[in-house]
Structure 1
Amino acid sequence: MNTDIENLFKDKVLGHPAGLFILFFTEMWERFSFYGMRILLVLFLTAPLLSDNPGWDWPREHALALIGTYASLLYLTPIIGGWIADKITGYRMAVVIGCIIMTLGHASMAVETTASFYLGLALLVIGTGFFKPNITSIISEMYKGKESKKDGAYTIFYMGVNAGAFFGMMLCGYLAENYGWSWGFGLAGIFMFFGMLQFLLAGKIFGDIGAKPTKIHEVEIPQNINEKAPELREDGIEEAPIKLNPFTMFDYVLIVLSSVGGLLYLFNDPLEKIYDTSLVPFEIGGMSGTNIVVLAALAMFLILLITRIARYLPIVRDRLIAVSIFGLFTVFFFAFFEQSLGSMTLFAQDYTDRNLTGDSAIIFKVIDALLTTVPLIIISYVIFLLVKKTHNRIALSNVALVLAFIGIWGLVIFRLMDKFAQTELEVDATWFGILNSFFIITLAPIFSKWWESKYNPSAAVKYGIGLIMLGLGFAILSYGASDIPPGAMTAKVSMIFLILAYLLHTMGELCLSPLGLSYLSKLVPARMIGFMFGVWYLAIAVGQKAANTMGGMIDKISAEYSMGTFFLIFTLIPIAVGIVSMLLNPVLKKLMHGIR
């Protein structure tokens, strides 16, 4: 394996192995298809039947119930996909399988029948499970023994994530809103296919890295773990002793029952709301079967978590308690942050003044052209460097990559020509979704410098700042929507409120989202890391479902009170939780036992 790593590092692009940029572009196409399709969902499902671009005319609550279940499952299947890759397929084959399944999913959705739509969503959930955890695992394996370069590698890779999201939402959204939903869903699938082709044809560049696992494994000789003394780490912090804590039969029973209960709730919630049918058609004491099931599942999961943590030695136990508290804050954050693809997209479509004329239209066209072409020029230069370095080794992979980017350039130029030809411009509702990716790319270096400076705040303070920023973004929306009368289904609020909200939300995300897994890897003992990564993804999944459940209340709250009140709720809760996080800073620092 070391030979393969050394061979990878012989062909460098921008100081990193060419293989990293193969993964960069594979991830970019996957995120292109993922976000390009996902931002269309709520608009397609709620679009009127009798319109120039007819959708399914669902109530917003129904649409967001389905999207919430879909988004939650996307964070649960990677737990299974990672296990399958570890034990059976290997990381590279799992990525290829995921790409193929997702391509079929997008193709199925483009047909736009009820059966094909649900089949498409199911295939995307399964494909993401294979893809999501394993492409990052390849990077980790590539940089074994070269840990000093790993942070830079993940930074480059993260740019691929955001570049894909940026162009996916822009181009899929443009085609879907202006030429029909099938065009948007289909385009996502086309570039997912190119991503798979490019990765598959470049396989030999990785050697045995990420290949199918062999039956021979490196075995770590276990120590007398219960009596192991603390060790001094390289950073001078004493490593906590680890207590052997195998899963008991009781643990397995709780895992199975809480998992079944949670999945039952995820599938039953949209079934009840959309089709008025239930998988748990009973009541106890006036409480519906759905609520009973989800509360029981939550109770069993908490019992599992508490009993497992309690069986560790004090320092490890304290750190796991800290991780669990951060996990709870993560649920709150994503429950509100993920309004971006639900209620905020609906606000962009129905309540935002997207019509521009005169100088304002010209200014927007120029800014939009720069936003689109400058990143594309930079990425095209990276492709040139990659092809120059690897044209002899992976020529067919490079052909697939270049053809895909010729397609992107063609679509971008077509879109810009169309926009510049319009004297009165209507900004696409999906355009606002690209702001998050744009702000991440531009602000990430600033926040990175902040974390490296002497003013780097503690974990609890970062979480607090992130949640407060999130709440302030909604405060701006609440103020902008304050003049919308109760029950109004349309309005003309200035675009600036939505743009500022996305700016503050992105700043909040940069304070919190990239840090969660970092703290998890530092605080959790190696023998518990797999379980706690699963818990972390579960926290995000719960946040996703909660986001769309709350977002689905937009009509009810805005009709009874006002749209401003709806966003005011989303203002007050994150700010309150952020303040709690900051107040808990001394307690959490103590629980972390020196980990920063």
Structure 2
Amino acid sequence: MSNGSLNSLTKHGTVLGHPSGLFVLFFTEMWERFSYYGMRALLVIFLIGAIDVENPGWGWEREDALSLLGTYALMVYLTPILGGYIADKMIGYRSAVVIGALLMTLGHASMAVETPLFLYIGIGLLIFGNGFFKPNMTSIISKMYENFPEKKDGAYTIFYMGVNAGAFLGIMLCGYLGEKVAWSFGFGLAGIFMFLGMLQFYFAKPIFDGIGDKPEATTDEELEIPEGDKLNPFSLLDKILIGAFVVLSVIWIFNDPLSKIGEMPILPGGAEGTVANSVILTALVAFLVLLISRLTRYTPLVRDKMIAVAIFAFFTVFFWASFEQAAGSMAIFAKDYTSRALAGNTAMIFKIVDTIITIIPLAIITWVLYSLFRMTYKKITLSNIILGLSFVIIWGIVIYKLIREFSNTGTEVPATWFAILNSLFIIMFAPLFSRWWESKYNPSAAMKYGIGLSLLGVGFGFLVFGSLSIPQGAETAAVSMIWLILAYLFHTLGELCLSPVGLSYLSKLVPGRMIAFMFGIWYLAIAIGNKLAHFMGGKIDAIVSQYSLSTFFLIFTIVPIASGLLVMALNPLLKRLMHGVR
């Protein structure tokens, strides 16, 4: 039941039954995801690209490129913990979003320079910018719907569509310009839309009515503690363990790329020496001691629920360690091992399909933009003008792309194009999964995890089968695109089973006063998964030279399926630990 007047939520007009402010956030997040996924789709392909071609890359070793990507992806999931804290305690959510967007704009601009120094500066700016931006957009939505919980699920669904729309357009357009025209165009385009997104958000301030301002501080005395529960303040030992874990982890994280790329290891023996292994194991032990010691100090009911969250977080590591091959080894498979040159009728069919899947989503998003204009043009005129300009540029690039492609008889599918399939399949299948979760056949949390992990493994199984004809040690091949398309399909189905439900169960299981700590644990699990993904992905050349490409993908087939079966076997235990939470 609502705790406030609906007029207070909708007084600035509605779009699709939700306040216009939600759609300002929708488009701001869309441009941020446009820039993030557009850049990420290009990074590895650019770094490993040949240096003696018309649009030269840097000719890096695959392991080096994936080492850098892994550290970047890991830090992207850790800095939001700090950025959320700063916003909550010091500057407020809206200011944090603006600062984050500005830092990311500068980061993309730096990468467009295409020199090693500016590449590293750019990645650093993107990491810190993301830390300010990522957690605070969702915090603004949470505040906006604070008194209207019954409308919150619909709001997050709309917001999630903005995420996927941005990823879809960013990968398609940044990837196309980067691969077909010039890498700096792709990196630069990501920065342009991040900047326009920041301006659109900044000048929309009047319709937020103070939402996202710095909140008032809350003391422990003001927290509502359920009967039979108790606070669990951090002890001196807890803080020492946190410090040890953070310091040792950061040393290991940066030692990896510095050892491989710059040959400037922080630790003796490089990235995989005895010292490096000892450091990360010590960090892991410190974290486990911290987690176990804190869990034992909670009341039995809370302890059980938090143990359930920790188990789900553990399996989350395995999911992302495989799923995030999309940005690394699967991008390499698309670039070097997939037949992408099309001619004749096949080329024309691809161009028509590509046109349809580009124009229809863009037309729908443009209609949403028009609906927002009608409601808010007089209230946030400058914001809407900037947003309108953004779409004029987008349509211009799309028309340029289509004219350029249809003027040629054949085509070469960009290696980055396959990455759009994830967003496309999410948009196609998310409504079906949503209905499944709302039906009487809704599986338990453990079963959803098991199904998701198993589908992920099946997706890699298609790559195993498709790679069977590639000889041992081969650095290039030309297998059918169908295997990569099927892999992305099953990976997306697995993601829909696991990814959206994880945070939902966390919010249901963990008491409000502990949510920040457990969100930190959750993002840490995703961060570790991302780093492991590209650490393992970096072994592709070693495994291919000694065994085969099929063997490499077989690892990512067996591990997720085995993990999925294990979490299904734990279903009775997890049900007991969750104490009736579904």
Q: Identify whether the pair has TM-score above 0.5, normalized to the shorter chain.
A: yes
Q: Pick from 252, 258, 276: which aligns with 1:265?
A: 252
1:24 aligns with 2:26: yes
- Matches of 2:202 and 2:510 in 1, distance apart? 35
Q: Corresponding residue for 1:236? A: none
Change (3 A) 1:258 1:426: same
Query: What are the within-5 Å matches in structure 2 for residues 359-508 of structure 1?
Result: 359-508=345-494
Aligned 8 A contact 2:177 2:183 in 1? yes
Q: Corresponding residue for 1:234? A: none
The 3-state SS of whatever aligns with 1:275 is coil
CA offsets, 1:97-131, max 9 Å, x none? 00101000000110111111100000000000000
1:320 aligns with 2:322: no
Aligned 8 A contact 1:5 1:142 in 2? no
Aligned 8 A contact 2:109 2:122 in 1? yes
Q: Pick from 188, 206, 211: which aligns with 2:208?
A: 206
Q: Pick from 142, 145, 156: which aligns with 1:143?
A: 145
Change (3 A) 1:182 1:340: same
Q: Corresponding residue for 1:55? A: 57
Q: Corresponding residue for 2:509? A: 523
Change (3 A) 1:292 1:546: same
Per-residue deviation at 1:7?
Answer: 5.4
Give unpaired runs (5+ residues) of structure 2: none
Q: Corresponding residue for 1:557? A: 543
- Matches of 2:331 and 2:216 in 1, distance apart? 47
Per-residue deviation at 1:488?
Answer: 0.6
- Matches of 1:495 and 1:521 in 2, distance apart? 40
CA offsets, 1:397-438, max 9 Å, x none? 000000000000000111111111121111000000100000
- Matches of 1:66 and 1:399 in 2, distance apart? 38
| Residue identity in the other structure for 1:338 | E
The 3-state SS of whatever aligns with 1:53 is coil
- Matches of 1:464 and 1:3 in 2, distance apart? 42
- Matches of 2:577 and 2:233 in 1, distance apart? 23
- Matches of 2:337 and 2:12 in 1, distance apart? 54
Per-residue deviation at 1:212?
Answer: 2.7
Aligned 8 A contact 1:45 1:57 in 2? yes
Q: State the percentage of identical aligned residues.
A: 61
- Matches of 1:426 and 1:177 in 2, distance apart? 10
TM-score, normalised to structure 1, is 0.95
The 3-state SS of whatever aligns with 2:577 is helix
- Matches of 1:185 and 1:222 in 2, distance apart? 46
- Matches of 1:493 and 1:123 in 2, distance apart? 38
Two-structure CA RMSD over aligned residues (Å): 1.6
Change (3 A) 1:219 1:585: closer
The 3-state SS of whatever aligns with 1:36 is helix
Aligned 8 A contact 2:12 2:375 in 1? no
The 3-state SS of whatever aligns with 2:261 is helix
Per-residue deviation at 1:526?
Answer: 1.9
Q: Corresponding residue for 2:529? A: 543
CA offsets, 1:555-593, max 9 Å, x none? 110111111111111101100000001111011101111
- Matches of 2:473 and 2:133 in 1, distance apart? 42
| Residue identity in the other structure for 1:31 | R
- Matches of 1:118 and 1:25 in 2, distance apart? 28
- Matches of 2:297 and 2:488 in 1, distance apart? 43
Which deviates further from its counterpart, 578-587 or 51-60?
51-60
- Matches of 1:87 and 1:3 in 2, distance apart? 28
Which deviates further from its counterpart, 7-16 or 483-492?
7-16
1:176 aligns with 2:175: no
Change (3 A) 1:447 1:501: same
| Residue identity in the other structure for 2:387 | L
- Matches of 2:52 and 2:353 in 1, distance apart? 34
Aligned 8 A contact 1:5 1:143 in 2? no
1:582 aligns with 2:568: yes
1:311 aligns with 2:313: no
CA offsets, 1:160-216, max 9 Å, x none? 00000000000000000011110000000000011001000101110110013356x
Change (3 A) 1:560 1:158: same
Q: Corresponding residue for 1:233? A: none
Per-residue deviation at 1:349?
Answer: 0.5
| Residue identity in the other structure for 1:413 | I
- Matches of 2:4 and 2:236 in 1, distance apart? 40
Per-residue deviation at 1:369?
Answer: 0.5
Q: Corresponding residue for 2:113? A: 111
Aligned 8 A contact 2:41 2:419 in 1? yes
Change (3 A) 1:152 1:329: same
- Matches of 1:421 and 1:350 in 2, distance apart? 26
Per-residue deviation at 1:276?
Answer: 2.4
Q: Corresponding residue for 2:579? A: 593
- Matches of 2:273 and 2:296 in 1, distance apart? 32
| Residue identity in the other structure for 1:264 | I
Aligned 8 A contact 1:107 1:120 in 2? yes
Aligned 8 A contact 1:4 1:206 in 2? no
Paired residue total = 579
- Matches of 1:249 and 1:122 in 2, distance apart? 32
Q: Corresponding residue for 1:242? A: 229
Which deviates further from its counterpart, 540-549 or 363-372?
363-372
Query: What are the within-5 Å matches in structure 2 for residues 260-339 of structure 1?
Result: 260-281=247-268, 288-339=274-325
Aligned 8 A contact 1:8 1:205 in 2? no
Aligned 8 A contact 2:107 2:124 in 1? yes
The 3-state SS of whatever aligns with 2:110 is helix
1:341 aligns with 2:327: yes
Per-residue deviation at 1:527?
Answer: 2.3
CA offsets, 1:17-76, max 9 Å, x none? 000000000000000000000111101110122122112111100110110000000000
- Matches of 1:441 and 1:11 in 2, distance apart? 26
Aligned 8 A contact 1:4 1:207 in 2? no
Aligned 8 A contact 1:4 1:208 in 2? no
Q: Pick from 87, 90, 94: which aligns with 2:89?
A: 87
| Residue identity in the other structure for 2:433 | F
- Matches of 1:4 and 1:504 in 2, distance apart? 41
Change (3 A) 1:256 1:445: same
- Matches of 2:132 and 2:580 in 1, distance apart? 36
Aligned 8 A contact 2:464 2:550 in 1? yes
The 3-state SS of whatever aligns with 1:213 is coil
- Matches of 1:363 and 1:265 in 2, distance apart? 48
Change (3 A) 1:264 1:178: same
Per-residue deviation at 1:145?
Answer: 1.1
Q: Corresponding residue for 1:238? A: none
- Matches of 2:269 and 2:261 in 1, distance apart? 18
The 3-state SS of whatever aligns with 1:155 is helix
1:100 aligns with 2:102: yes
Give unpaired runs (5+ residues) of structure 1: 230-240
1:123 aligns with 2:125: yes
CA offsets, 1:464-488, max 9 Å, x none? 0000000000000000000100111
CA offsets, 1:213-240, max 9 Å, x none? 356x5986457x5xx64xxxxxxxxxxx
Q: Pick from 255, 263, 266: which aligns with 2:242?
A: 255
- Matches of 2:202 and 2:10 in 1, distance apart? 17
Aligned 8 A contact 1:9 1:16 in 2? no
